[in-house]
Chains A and B, each alone.
Chain A
Amino acid sequence: MSNAAAIRPGRPALPEWVRRLPEYLMIWVPLLLSAAHLISFSLWTIWISFTPSTLVPVSGWVGLRNYTAVAASRNWQIAFDNLLLFGSAFVVLSAATGLILAILLDQRIRGENALRSIFLYPLAVSFVVTGTVWSWLLNPGLGIQKLVHDLGWTSFKFDWLIDRDMAIWTIVIAAIWQSSGFAMALFLAGLRSVDADIVKAAQIDGAGPVRIYRRIVLPSLWPITVTVVVIQLQFAISTFDLVRALTNGGPGIATQLPALVVYDLMFQRSLLGRGAAAAVLMLLILLAVLLPYAAWRYVQRRRALHA
């Protein structure tokens, strides 16, 4: 403490704050850089979204013109519709797949660890790799359709990758493959924490496994389900790499998503103002998911405190 320096003889007593300068620097410099970049970069992007910036950021004020231009563009409209479809289909299907896998793995089966590793390994590879591999499998001239044709069933058709109406589903498939394991891991942890005594009591009362799942186990999982859904939605909203590698937004612009529109406006068309506006719109979509979730978490915590 402060008198420690005074006790030691023969050393000049440096002021406390000088002695502690290294630790202040090590704590504050990284934290302040991190916090400052989060706040200032957000404000900066928001500011650019209200300026007439094109190739380089310029000052000036155009009000909401960038926003209306983005919202009126076909590119954004398709991206937004795709996000609604992709987001809901992917979230529902991957949560369902994860839940089914978790329930199956919870049946005291042999090889549980190996199976769990198999369902989780896609999370270790990049979306670029996932997208590339699935673009081969789903390519009608290379992958599954070609294989079935070569085997003799020549009328077989599985060409979603080049079908404007179905192409978005190829992204759903690849995304489910990549991240159902994550939902499984969370659900499995939830299943393992169900109160064994309650289950045993229900068994003694003569309840069958289906009834126990429906009445006791699944209801206790719903807080985890909310978490899974929110995290998967967060992923869906910012999906970029996967689409870049799998369809690159095509055929045409059929699989466009907001993150691709942002990149396209900022770095391919050099419309910085509009690109920034699209990024802010992405943030708003994200907040529409995260703010209710934060409120829900807050209520849950308070309830847990008062219980």
Chain B
Amino acid sequence: MRDHSFAPSRIWIYLVVTLIAAAWLAPLAVVVLNSLRSNEEIAQGSMIGWPQHLAWSNYPAAWSGFCVAETCSGIRPYMLNSALVTIPATIFSTLLGAIAGYAISLWRFRGDNWIYGIVTLGLFLPQQMRLLPWTIVLRDIGLINTLAGLVLIHTIQGLSFTTLFCRNYYVAIPHELIRAARIDGAGFFRIFWRIILPLSGPILIVTVIWQFTHIWNEFLYGVTFTTGQQQPVTAALIALSAAVADIPQHGVQSAAVIIAALPTLLIYLIGGKYFVRGLTAGAVK
């Protein structure tokens, strides 16, 4: 039994925790409030303030109005790019990682430990070591400056995480289950489809959330391998702040930041438990 007492001596705990929580929420609050203030209102005061008139127009302007480098299409095309990269790459890397993790943990084949060890090294190898080779490979196969190129990169690199997550989850499944199914004549895919997949709910949610968040938030590959209209939203945000440096439009920029952060924030709000589980699972590798 846990007692949630409010004894006076414990007031200071609540005080400290509330103060820190307020500090942690402040940046979000500032951006949300700014996204509702007009550019002129912000220019007169500071970026920290209560909206005098709610300027909802910042959102349509951020979504489809403002200009980056002579293209006035707002943030919409870049959001679409991010979605077109993130969703397929998340699905591919999760599915392939689940099959690989299943094969490594429950089928055991020659060289499985070796290949698993090498693949998980991908968790540690800095992106900088892969930048030049990816540039050359993408150029040679004609995928430089395309969304398909980014999907390919994120699928292959994501495999390190997804294989690790799924393998660690599947090793806990009793081997007898597989052995019995094999004696009944079920093959690799049939067992995966009928036995493993129905047991995989929690780990697939963790993996999908992890991959989606990482790929959506990724910046270095986006900015290196794509330009202009092909860029994901993280790269477009940087281009936006560079483009408006002369005439700041902080209200519109704040709205753009909120829109860009919204997909992963929503996923966090909905699947928080699984988000944290992925975080700690990735840590205790």
State the Cβ distance, B15 to closest chain A Cβ, in Å: 10
B129 touches A133 (CB 8 A): no
* 0/1 string, B20-47, CB within 8 A of A gives 1: 1100110110110010000000000111
Contact of A48 among B132, B264, B283, B284 (CB under 8 A): B132
State the Cβ distance, A37 to closest chain B Cβ, in Å: 6
B134 touches A41 (CB 8 A): yes
Does residue A115 face the partner (Cβ distance < 8 Å to B)? yes
Number of residues of chain A lying within 8 A (CB) of chain B: 89
Q: How far is the CA of A228 from the CA of B14 in the complex (A)?
A: 26
B119 touches A38 (CB 8 A): yes
A234 touches B124 (CB 8 A): yes
Contact of B115 among A1, A32, A126, A189 (CB under 8 A): A32
Q: How far is the CA of A32 from the CA of B159 in the complex (A)?
A: 11
Does residue A169 face the partner (Cβ distance < 8 Å to B)? no
B216 touches A27 (CB 8 A): no
Q: How far is the CA of A238 from the CA of B126 in the complex (A)?
A: 7
Number of A-B contacts (CB under 8 A): 246
Does residue A155 face the partner (Cβ distance < 8 Å to B)? no
The verdict on A150 contacting B46 (CB below 8 Å), with A126-B219, A133-B30 known, is yes
State the Cβ distance, A20 to closest chain B Cβ, in Å: 7
Does residue A303 face the partner (Cβ distance < 8 Å to B)? no
State the Cβ distance, B95 to closest chain A Cβ, in Å: 9
The verdict on A23 contacting B187 (CB below 8 Å), with A124-B275, A241-B220 known, is yes
Does residue A129 face the partner (Cβ distance < 8 Å to B)? yes
* 0/1 string, A194-224, CB within 8 A of B gives 1: 0000000000000000000000000000000
For the complex with contacts A30-B159, A240-B219, A276-B132, 9 further pairs of A-B residues with Cβ separation under 8 Å are A27-B103, A30-B156, A33-B159, A42-B129, A107-B10, A130-B27, A146-B45, A146-B48, A262-B128
17 contacts between A and B (CB under 8 A): A26-B189, A31-B163, A38-B122, A108-B3, A117-B269, A125-B217, A128-B234, A129-B234, A129-B237, A136-B31, A150-B46, A185-B280, A189-B280, A227-B284, A245-B238, A259-B128, A266-B131
A: residues with CB less than 8 A from B are 1, 4, 20, 22-23, 26-27, 30-35, 37-42, 44-45, 48, 57, 101, 104-105, 107-110, 115, 117-130, 132-137, 139, 142-144, 146-147, 150, 177, 181-182, 185-186, 189, 227-228, 231, 234, 237-238, 240-241, 244-245, 259, 262-263, 266-267, 272, 275-276, 278-280, 282-283, 286, 290
Instruction: Report the 7 A-B pairs with minimum CB-CB distance, sorted nearest first.
Output: A126-B217, A124-B268, A146-B46, A23-B188, A41-B133, A279-B128, A35-B118
